Amino acid sequence: MSIPDTLAIDGGEPAVTIDEPEGWQRPVEAEKRAVLDLLEEGAISGAGRGFPLEFEERFREFSGAEYCLTVDHGSTAIESAFYAVGVGPGDEVITPTVGYIGAYAGALHLGARPVFCEIDPRTLLPDPEDVERRITDRTAAIAITHWNGRVCDMDAFGDLSEEYDVPIVEDAAHAHASTWDGAHIGSVGDIACYSLQGVAPHGKPLAGGEGGIVTTNDREYYERQLSYCHLHRSGLNDELTLDPYEKLDWEALGLKYRAHPLALAIADVELDSMRYRARRRIAYRDELFRGLEDLPDVRPVWPYGKSETDGLYGGLKIVLDPDELGVSPERFVEVLAAEGAPVRGPGFSYMEHRRTVFEEGYDLWGKGRSPIQGEFCGLPPYEGYEEGDFPVSEDLDRRVLTVSSYIEPEDGFVDQFVHAFEKVVERVRR
């Protein structure tokens, strides 16, 4: 490695001079036409017919799943999935502490206790071995999150599901275009849940403002979801064919979590380019990581070999070895950011066991009725969490960086980005 230029933080020229690297433009005019068509038709409410049903069928075919249902948010998609697999009061649901509250909040509000687990330090995804250690006779579901589009080890989790007869609920909010062993994740596991939050290209991989999708191959799960949250869906009683759901009237269980057609219209436009955008993000990751992988004490985080998808939402991950670098991760990020590099950290966005409600417990419904305070519906007394309970995840939280992901980066941007890392690594290690 050559002697670097003077660091920008010391008055040198920044390595990255391209301020707006993203060249891809979202198809705003196509989105306008799609929304306007529904407005002119007056088709801006309802489910089970017309455009909302067409969208469900299109995503069902895209995913390869047997069944597809749209809802109003990704979090309600996951809540309906927990209901579908039978999570209820007194149950436990295992989920990673490097996660997100929306991935398990639905189970909590159904009366189940979240049980946090460690992540695999290689991929930063839920560790199947640690999950297995936490399974009890109260475990009603394992809730995993495909962070940034990186798919969890579906082979290992499939084996756990079969061995312990515990369903896997997948938070696929970042993973609409992700695959495992060549198959779309929506058709691989028990039940997968997606978010449509945000606006392309920085929102979820399939963005419509707000909204959610659930896919499954299990008819029982599909009908339980329909009965739970699709009040006034057209043709609902024709779709409810299994006992006891077929006995319900046309208002089923009374919740209306259905998606807004205008959100689905925007998402439908974005679906046209989703595979292209995913391929381009992967190509960008590969080029960037190849440029960084020979740098000492800087480890790009690759996904499992059976899933190449990554960086579809929330960026790419890099883990530092600060002891060898001789500088704190905080200082490393400060110096790197001064070079113009789009980097955040150190740290994960979320560490769930550190939330006050899980450290101290919380009386969820009042009057001492809560799965995370005291005893509840056969659950043992809640003990809470404290620092040190998850040493692997906590150590990585001090060392992980997030770098931005792009679809069509400007020419020369990757070279500048890599040069910024080279400058900083060589200077701080001297």
Predicted model pTM: 0.96
Per-residue pLDDT tens over the stretch 73-82: 999 999 999 9
Answer yes or no: is pLDDT of 4 > 60.
no
Per-residue pLDDT tens over the stretch 120-163: 999 999 999 999 999 999 999 999 999 999 999 999 999 999 99
Mean pLDDT of the chain: 96
Residues with Cβ < 8 Å from 339, sequence gap 6 or more?
7, 8, 9, 14, 15, 16, 420, 423, 424
Class of domain 28-273: alpha beta
Q: What is the mean pLDDT of residues 13-39?
A: 97
Q: What is the mean pLDDT of residues 7-31?
A: 96
Q: What is the pLDDT of residue 308?
A: 87
Place 67 in a pLDDT band, splitting at 50, 70 and 90: very high
| Burial annotation 166-202 (CB, 10 A radius, 16+ → b, else e) | bbbbbbbbbbbbbbbeeebbbbbbbbbbbbbbbebbe
Residues of the chain above pLDDT 90, percent = 96
Give the residue carrying structure tokens 């990673």: 96
Place 1 in a pLDDT band, splitting at 50, 70 and 90: very low
Place 349 in a pLDDT band, splitting at 50, 70 and 90: confident
Distance CA 84, CA 374 (A): 27
Per-residue pLDDT tens over the stretch 249-306: 999 999 999 999 999 999 999 999 999 999 999 999 999 999 999 999 999 999 999 9
pLDDT, greater one: 326 or 279: 279
Answer yes or no: is pLDDT of 2 > 60.
no
Do residues 226 and 240 touch, judged by C-beta distance below 8 A? yes
